[in-house]
Structure 1
């Protein structure tokens, strides 16, 4: 349906099923440490943002609310939308600035399997971008709330190492990324364990996050149609 005064376009929440996963990396201690170093990053994907579309996404719900009653004038909505866009831009620039030094994310897929510049230039919402992520990472959104978990390795195995990581993934687990990493790091074992809702709890003493700690729902903006032709960066 096209936009009209009677049916204005509205951004809507995107239904996402967030899935808690644990990843266990094991093998010779020096190789595990090498993987730990390679995997640590900022967790930021340096997308090129469409700022005009972003401002429009902020403006439309205020200018044309679903109940038809504005809580703010149109001129005020435009000013607020511009300020929100500027704030989002500043946050994004700050995130990009720390990419070179921030290593707080212990499992940064963009560090391990970088998104090509041609895909980054399209932005995160383009169909071609999502296809690349689905093919190479196995998910269409970056991982969320990535954290180190306590080791369960027997301390007597001094020549062996272990890295345990927990994270939330959107709708599916990053099996494609794990398959590529297994080929790139053949000396290591990478065991990914999704924790599906309703599954039996683990018996290793690990406290799993509660549903209230899941990432917040995202809003779906107006997207440009992805171009046709060969997939870039494949």
Structure 2
């Protein structure tokens, strides 16, 4: 699978869980076209991505905080290589199926699979262009700015085993956090000395905990205190 192939729903995190009650009687299905299955009939994913909400409290002297805030801001992404042609090839291979029998996995013709692949390529190019237009300081807590991914690792691509191993060892997660923001109004939870202040960051990450990043920050900013806590998604 190409490191450039990223489905439109890849960045979504699960909505808060809600209690469900069984209906008194089975709901009636709305009439639809003959021969077309409703969305509910398609196979369900194996499970939701393991997203976790996090808060990072940072506090300390004003001068050290000024330095950290300036250093932490960035575009909030890893500059993985992008190959639109490879994206199209990968999607076509997925659509046509493992045997290349002339019909796609969902009954698409070869031409239909090619059209689907071109549509995904166009969507991937649009997404990549949107990401490259991000402001240099649009993300207030950019892990790539704080613990940079070496160029030799970036050049491997996001799905390469060595790249994922490096990220797991140095970030604790294998992709950049999403929806990173400063949470206004939240404080350190204690009275700080004069000339000190606190900032609280909120973000989502999945399939791991960014503890290695926090340890690096504690080493690099000894005048500051870092407190990472999980937040329930329920």
TM-score (norm. length: structure 1): 0.69
Deviation readout 1:14-45 (Å, 9 max, x if unpaired): 86311111100000012112211111111121
2:114 matched to 1:78?
A: yes
Deviation readout 1:71-112 (Å, 9 max, x if unpaired): x432132133123213313421442343xx432211100111
Inter-partner Cα distance in structure 2 for 1:190 and 1:69: 50
Deviation readout 1:106-156 (Å, 9 max, x if unpaired): 110011111111111111000000011111111112112112112315788
Inter-partner Cα distance in structure 2 for 1:79 and 1:67: 12
Note if contact 1:22-1:193 (Cα within 8 Å) is conserved in structure 2: yes
Report the alpha carbon displacement of residue 47 of structure 1 after superposing the two structures with TM. 0.3
Partner of 2:179: 145
Inter-partner Cα distance in structure 2 for 1:13 and 1:106: 33
Inter-partner Cα distance in structure 2 for 1:121 and 1:51: 16
1:136 to 150, 170, 195: 170
Give structure 2 stretches of 5+ with no counterpart.
Answer: 1-44
Which 4+ stretches in 1 moved above 6 angstroms? none
Q: For the aligned residues, what is the CA RMSD?
A: 2.7
Give structure 1 stretches of 5+ with no counterpart.
Answer: 1-11, 198-209, 212-234
Partner of 1:25: 58
State how many pairs are aligned. Answer: 184
Inter-partner Cα distance in structure 1 for 2:207 and 2:192: 38
TM-score (norm. length: structure 2): 0.69
Report the alpha carbon displacement of residue 13 of structure 1 after superposing the two structures with TM. 6.6
Which protein is bigger by CA-based radius of gyration?
2
Partner of 2:211: 175
2:168 matched to 1:120?
A: no
Distance 1:68 1:84, change over 3 A: closer
Distance 1:79 1:13, change over 3 A: farther
Note if contact 1:30-1:161 (Cα within 8 Å) is conserved in structure 2: no
Partner of 1:43: 76
Distance 1:69 1:19, change over 3 A: closer
Distance 1:14 1:105, change over 3 A: farther
Inter-partner Cα distance in structure 2 for 1:60 and 1:14: 24
Inter-partner Cα distance in structure 2 for 1:135 and 1:64: 35
Inter-partner Cα distance in structure 1 for 2:113 and 2:106: 13
Inter-partner Cα distance in structure 2 for 1:25 and 1:134: 23
Note if contact 2:140-2:182 (Cα within 8 Å) is conserved in structure 1: yes
Deviation readout 1:150-201 (Å, 9 max, x if unpaired): 2315788541111101111112211001111110111100111123x5xxxx
Inter-partner Cα distance in structure 2 for 1:103 and 1:114: 15
- SS of equivalent residue, structure 1 residue 21: strand
- SS of equivalent residue, structure 1 residue 38: helix
Note if contact 1:23-1:192 (Cα within 8 Å) is conserved in structure 2: yes
